[in-house]
Amino acid sequence: MAAEVSRAVIGGTGFSELASDFQNIETDYGTIKVGHIELGGKEVLFVPRHIGLEIPQLVNYRGNIQALKLLGVNTVFAVSAAGRLAQNILPGHLVAVSNVDHEGSARTSSFADTPGLLLHASPEDICSPGLRDILIQSWGAVKNKIAQIYSDSPDLELGFHPNGTYYNVDGPDFRDPATEHRLRQTVFQPALIGQTVWPEINLARQMAMAYQPLGMCVDNSSFPGAKPVTHADGVMHAVVKTAQAAVVLLNEAVKNTPDNFFEAAAHDAMRHSLHPSQVNFPLLKSQGRTKLAIILEQELASRSLT
C-alpha cells in the first residue's frame, strides 16, 4: 500500500460488504486477508473475523492482530454480535463496552506462547476510554439514522449504552439459563455475553494498540421470560440490522477520531511490558516467530532513538 493506515475495524456482516482491495498479509500464524473500507472520509483497514465461517474458538486471532501490527495499525474498533445479559439491554441495542471478562478458555491469549519470550502487558484501561468516549459522543449525531434502519423491524429496539461488561465464552453453543443466571449475579456491570472479543483484546494490548469493542445485542440469549427465544433466523436478521447500525455509528466515530489519537495505557504498553532480558531472538525465530521478532526488534530499537 502507498501509505501506512493507522486505524482498523475488525468485524463481519455489514462491513465485509463494504470492503475492497483485499491483500494477503503473511504472519507467523498464516496468511491473513486485510481489506480497505472508507469510513468518515478516511481509509480504514478491515479484517473479517469469520472469512471462512470459522466458529469463534477457531478464529485466527493472533494472525489477525499481527497482520494489523505489521501494517502499522495502532487504533482498532472491534464489532461483535452478542447476546443479552442485562434487563435493560435489548436486541437492537449497541454497547460501548467498558470491560471484558471471560471464562477459562483453551484459546491462546498471548503472543508469548513459545520459548524465547516473556511478555506481561498491563490490562489497565484495556477497553480504550478515549475511543469509547468518541463512540458516546458520536451516538447523538446518528441516532435518528439508526432509528430509520430499525423502522421495519419491530423485534429490534433502538438503544445505546455507554458502558457495560462483555462476558466472553467459548462457542459455538449458547450458555444455559442457570449459567447465565450465575453470571448476572457475579459479573461486574453485566451487559452482553459473546464469543469473539477475548483473546482479541488482550493480543491487541500486547501489540500496543488502542482497542474498543462495540457490542451489538442480537438476541435474548437465555434471559428469563424473554421473547422471542433465540433462533437462527431471528439472530441473523438482527445481525444484519445491527451491523448496519454499527456501520453508521463507526462512520461517525472514525470521522471524530483524530489522526494522531494517542492513549498511553495502550500505545506505551509494549514499552512497559517488553524488557530486553526477556526476549531471546535466535530462539524465538527458531520457533517460527520471525515476524514477531521483527516487531519486537523494532520496538527495542525505537527506544535508543528517544
> CB of 135 within 8 A of CB of 226?
no
Q: Check whether 62 has a pLDDT greater than 70.
A: yes
- pLDDT at site 305: 64
pLDDT digits (tens, 9 = 90+) for 16-39: 899 999 999 999 999 999 999 999
pLDDT digits (tens, 9 = 90+) for 100-118: 999 877 778 999 999 999 9
Q: Check whether 3 has a pLDDT greater than 70.
A: no
Q: Which of 155, 119, 135 shows the shortest CA–CA distance to 241? A: 155
Total of domains in the chain: 1
Q: Check whether 52 has a pLDDT greater than 90.
A: no
Is residue 150 one of the residues assigned to a domain?
Answer: yes
- pLDDT at site 108: 87
d(CA 88, CA 200): 27
What string of DSSP letters covers 246-275?
HHHHHHHHHHHS-TT---HHHHTHHHHH--
Provide the pLDDT confidence category of residue 5 given band limits of 50, 70 and 90. confident
Is residue 2 one of the residues assigned to a domain?
Answer: no
Mean pLDDT to the nearest integer, 175-190: 87
Is residue 1 one of the residues assigned to a domain?
Answer: no
- pLDDT at site 227: 62
What string of DSSP letters covers 14-65?
TTGGG-EEEEEEEETTEEEEEEEEEETTEEEEEEETTTT---GGGS-HHHHH
Q: Check whether 1 has a pLDDT greater than 50.
A: no
Share of the chain above pLDDT 70, in %: 93
Is residue 299 one of the residues assigned to a domain?
Answer: yes
pLDDT digits (tens, 9 = 90+) for 258-292: 999 999 999 999 999 999 999 999 999 999 999 99
Find the CATH number of the domain harbouring 49: 3.40.50.1580
Residue whose grid cell is 438482527 = 238
Q: Check whether 224 has a pLDDT greater than 70.
A: no
Which residues constitute the domain of residue 96? Answer: 7-303
- pLDDT at site 192: 97
Q: Which of 175, 165, 176, 198 shows the shortest CA–CA distance to 89? A: 165
Provide the pLDDT confidence category of residue 306 given band limits of 50, 70 and 90. low
Provide the pLDDT confidence category of residue 229 given band limits of 50, 70 and 90. low
pTM over 0.85: yes
Provide the pLDDT confidence category of residue 2 given band limits of 50, 70 and 90. very low
Is residue 293 one of the residues assigned to a domain?
Answer: yes
Is residue 186 one of the residues assigned to a domain?
Answer: yes
Mean pLDDT to the nearest integer, 55-63: 91
* Preceding amide of 172 cis, omega within 30: yes
Q: Chain-centre distance of CA 142, in angstroms?
A: 21
User: 21 or 171: whose pLDDT is higher?
Assistant: 21
Is residue 29 one of the residues assigned to a domain?
Answer: yes
10 to 127, 181, 183, 269, 282: CA distances (angstroms)? 15, 30, 26, 21, 32
Is residue 102 one of the residues assigned to a domain?
Answer: yes
Listed range (70-79, 225-234, 244-253) with the worst mean pLDDT: 225-234
Listed range (61-75, 136-150, 218-232) with the worst mean pLDDT: 218-232
pLDDT digits (tens, 9 = 90+) for 253-264: 999 999 999 999
d(CA 215, CA 95): 5
